[in-house]
């Protein structure tokens, strides 16, 4: 593997790509603690925890992402990050507000979907129960 000044980073959500581009540095938090990564870092895989992920782009600008749990895979100069939920913020203060608003809204939508699914499951169980009853 050759030495490089940049690594190609892709940050993916289940439905879209949140970031794709070159970065000089990456800072993230795994289950066993926080870590920084440079382009020539050794290859590895780690599970990420809900935290702030910071990327320093080619031109030295820091980009902040509020992320939920996910997986980071580094191979060569390519870093792929798959996360369940995530948002981008301009700075840490605005990121906090964005995370609060977005994640609370997503949690509410998930709660509504789970409630609807529970009702459907209950209806199916009742109908199967009715099928087993003898007809008079």
Q: What is the CATH number of domain 1-136?
A: 2.60.15.10
pLDDT digits (tens, 9 = 90+) for 9-28: 999 999 999 999 999 999 99
Give the pLDDT band of residue 89 (cuts 50, 70, 90): confident
Cα–Cα distance for residue pair 50/86, rounded to 1 Å: 9
Kindly tell me if the per-residue pLDDT of 76 is higher than 60.
yes
Amino acid 2: pLDDT = 72
Kindly tell me if the per-residue pLDDT of 1 is higher than 60.
no
Amino acid 59: pLDDT = 93
Residue ranges per domain, the chain?
Answer: 1-136
pLDDT digits (tens, 9 = 90+) for 100-135: 666 666 667 777 777 888 888 888 888 877 777 777
pLDDT digits (tens, 9 = 90+) for 31-70: 999 999 999 999 999 999 988 899 999 999 999 998 888 9
Amino acid 136: pLDDT = 65
Cα–Cα distance for residue pair 22/18, rounded to 1 Å: 13
Amino acid 104: pLDDT = 66
Burial per residue of 7-27, b for 16 or more beta-carbon CB atoms within 10 angstroms, e otherwise: bebebbbeeeebbeebbbbbb
Amino acid 118: pLDDT = 84
């Amino acid at each position: 593997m050759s030495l490089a000044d940049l690594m190609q980073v892709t940050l993916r959500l289940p439905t879209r790509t949140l970031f794709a581009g070159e970065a000089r540095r990456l800072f993230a938090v795994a289950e066993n603690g926080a870590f920084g990564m440079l382009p020539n870092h050794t290859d590895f895989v780690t599970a990420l925890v809900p935290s702030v992920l910071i990327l320093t782009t080619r031109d030295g600008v820091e980009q902040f992402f509020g992320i939920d749990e996910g997986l980071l895979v580094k191979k060569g100069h390519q870093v792929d990050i798959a996360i369940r939920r995530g948002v981008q913020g301009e700075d840490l203060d605005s990121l906090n507000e964005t995370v609060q608003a977005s994640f609370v809204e997503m949690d509410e939508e998930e709660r509504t979907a789970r409630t609807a699914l529970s009702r459907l499951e209950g209806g199916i169980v009742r109908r199967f129960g009715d099928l087993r009853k003898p007809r008079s």
